[in-house]
A and B are shown apart, each in its own frame.
Chain A
Amino acid sequence: MTSRLLLPAALRRYAGERAEVEINSGTLGAALDDLAERLPQLERRLRDEQGRLRPHVLMFVDGVSVRTGAPMETPVPDGVEVFVAPAVSGGNR
C-alpha cells in the first residue's frame, strides 16, 4: 500500500535524481518516518529534528495543504499524491 511523494527540483538530488518516490500509505508522519530510514537526507529537509514540518515547506496530500492542525496525523490514503513545494515565504533575501 503506497503513495507517491512528488519532489521539487531542489530536492531530487537527495532521491537519486528522481522526481517522485514511493512512500507508505497510512499517516503522513509514519510515511516520513519510513522515508527517514530509506532517504534520510531527503526526509531531514522536510522535517526538523523534532519531526515537525519545516516552517517554509508546503505539503499537499491529495491536493489539500497540511500546514495547519497536526500535519503528521494527516491520513495518506493508498495511491494518492503527496506534493512537496518550497513556500514563497522561505526564500533567501
Chain B
Amino acid sequence: MGLAILLIGTRKGLMIARSIDDRRTWATNDFQFLNQEVYSVAVDTRHDPPRIFAGVGSGHWGPLLTYSDDLGTSWTEPKEPAIGFPEGSDASVARVWQIQPATADQPDVIYAGVEPHALFRSDDRGQSFALVEGLWENPDRPSWVPGGGGACLHTVLVHPTDPDDVMVVMSAAGVYRTRDGGASWEPANRGIQAAYLPEDQRFPVFGQCVHKVAYHPDRPQRLFAQNHFGVYRSEDRGGSWTAIESGLPSNFGFSLVVHPHQPDTIYNFPLQADAERFPPEAKCRVYRSENAGASWEPLSAGLPKDPYYAAVLRDAMVADSGDPAGVYFGTRLGEVYASRDGGDGWSMIASHLPDVLSLRVAEVA
C-alpha cells in the first residue's frame, strides 16, 4: 500500500493521519475544524485526485458539508450550500451523519444521510445535493422516532452492480430499501427486535434502532447488522434477519465492519447494554467472526489491559483494502487503534483526541 490516509472525525475537530510505509507508522497533521463536530467523513477515490469529504457541525452555526481535493490541505465550501431541504419543506438539516460515494459505475454520485431522517443525492461529486423525495414522502416517516443520537439516517448501502438498489439505515426507524432508484422505499426489518418496546410489539415492521449495517461487495445479498440489542445476518438483502450473537459477550454495540477480502469475516465492538455503554467486563476487545457470525473470538493483543470504559461509536470502526487487511477503531476516549493483520494484533496510532465519531481510510497514491 502506498500513501494511506485515515480521516479521524471527532467531537471537536478533524485529524488526518498519513502512512507511507504500508501502515506501519502514521503521522498526524494539525487539528482542523476546531471545536466543531465531525460526524461524517469520506474518501472518494473514483477520480484523480481523490476527493475527501467532511460533515462538520457547530452547535451554533449549523452544519457544513465540505470537501478537499488536496487531501485536507484546503477545503471548499460551495457558494450555495451543498445540502439543504427545499424551500417550503419546513425542515432544515441539523447534522450530516453519512457521506457515501456510490459505485464506480456512477463516479459522480454521492449520497448523504442527515438528521432529520432524510437522504440526499449528489450527481456532481458533492457540489450540490438534492433531497431524495421518495424517502422523504414515505408514509411511515411521521412515525419514525429519533434514536439517542438524534433522528439520523446514518448508513447508506449502494448495491455494487445495481445502482437502483439502495438501502438506508435510520435510528430509530430501521432499515429501508429502494429498488427503483429512490422513488419508493420499503422497510426491511423482519426478524430484528426492538427490545425496548412492550413484549408483544418487539418485532414491528419499522421502528427498530439499527445502529449499523454492512456488507461485502462480492455478496451484496448478505447483510450484517448491529442493532440496539441484537446482531443479525440477512441472506436476502434485508428480506429477513437471523440473530448471530451467540458467542458475543453482549448483543449491544454500535459498530460493525466486514473484512474487505473475506466476506465471512466481520468485526464489532460489543458494549454491555444501552444503559451501560462500556465494554463488557471493562475489557477493550474487538470481536471477530470468520464464519459469518456462527462463532466469535475476542481480539485484544496490543489493546489496553487496564479497565477500559470507552465506547466505540457506529462510524468509528473501518477496514482498509490492504493485504493483509487493516482494521481501525476509535474510541470515545479519543484513541485510535489499528491492526494491519486483520485484527490479530493492534497498536495505538493516535491518542488524546476528543471522542472519535467517524473514521475512513483509503489508499490514495
Which of B61, B84, B89, B91 meets A57, CB within 8 Å? B61
The reply to whether the CB of A67 lies closer than 8 angstroms to some CB of chain B is no
Report the bound CA distance from A52 to B85 in whole Å.
13
Closest to A56 in B: B60
Closest to B13 in A: A92
The reply to whether the CB of B115 lies closer than 8 angstroms to some CB of chain A is no
CB of B62 within 8 A of CB of A54, answer yes
Which of B37, B58, B60, B87 meets A49, CB within 8 Å? B87
Given contacts A52-B92, A90-B59, A91-B59, whether A44 and B81 have CB atoms under 8 Å apart is: yes
Closest to A93 in B: B11
Within 8 A of A (CB), among B118-135: none
The reply to whether the CB of A40 lies closer than 8 angstroms to some CB of chain B is yes
Closest to B35 in A: A92
Give the shortest distance, in Å, between A88 (CB) and chain B (any CB): 10
CB of A50 within 8 A of CB of B60, answer no
Q: What residues of A have a CB within 8 angstroms of the CB of B145 in the complex? A: none
Report the bound CA distance from A90 to B92 in whole Å.
16
Give the shortest distance, in Å, between A52 (CB) and chain B (any CB): 7
Report the bound CA distance from A86 to B59 in whole Å.
9
**Is the interface on chain B under 10, 10 to 19, 20 to 34, or 35 or more residues?**
20 to 34
CB of A50 within 8 A of CB of B61, answer no
Q: What residues of B have a CB within 8 angstroms of the CB of A10 in the complex? A: 58, 60-61
Report the bound CA distance from A53 to B354 in whole Å.
29
CB of B93 within 8 A of CB of A49, answer yes
**Is the interface on chain A under 10, 10 to 19, 20 to 34, or 35 or more residues?**
20 to 34
Within 8 A of B (CB), among A23-80: 40-41, 44-46, 48-50, 52, 54, 56-57
The reply to whether the CB of B48 lies closer than 8 angstroms to some CB of chain A is no
Closest to B92 in A: A48
Contact with A along B88-124 (1 / 0, CB 8 A): 0111110000000000000000000000000000000
The reply to whether the CB of B352 lies closer than 8 angstroms to some CB of chain A is no
Q: What residues of A have a CB within 8 angstroms of the CB of B276 in the complex? A: none
Which of A40, A52, A86, A92 meets B37, CB within 8 Å? A92
Given contacts A40-B79, A48-B92, A49-B93, whether A86 and B84 have CB atoms under 8 Å apart is: no
CB of B61 within 8 A of CB of A11, answer yes
Q: What residues of B have a CB within 8 angstroms of the CB of A87 in the complex? A: 60
Q: What residues of B have a CB within 8 angstroms of the CB of A46 in the complex? A: 61
Which of B59, B62, B84, B93 meets A92, CB within 8 Å? B59
Give the shortest distance, in Å, between B316 (CB) and chain A (any CB): 16
The reply to whether the CB of B340 lies closer than 8 angstroms to some CB of chain A is no
CB of B90 within 8 A of CB of A50, answer yes
Q: What residues of A have a CB within 8 angstroms of the CB of B61 in the complex? A: 10-11, 45-46, 54, 57, 86
The reply to whether the CB of B80 lies closer than 8 angstroms to some CB of chain A is yes
Give the shortest distance, in Å, between A13 (CB) and chain B (any CB): 11
The reply to whether the CB of B36 lies closer than 8 angstroms to some CB of chain A is yes
Within 8 A of A (CB), among B38-77: 58-62, 77
CB of A48 within 8 A of CB of B62, answer yes
Binding site for A on B (CB under 8 A): 11-12, 35-37, 58-62, 77, 79-81, 84-85, 87, 89-93
Known: A57-B61, A92-B59. 6 other contacts (CB 8 A): A45-B60, A45-B61, A52-B92, A57-B60, A86-B60, A92-B35
The 5 closest A-B pairs by CB, nearest first: A49-B84, A48-B92, A45-B61, A90-B59, A86-B60
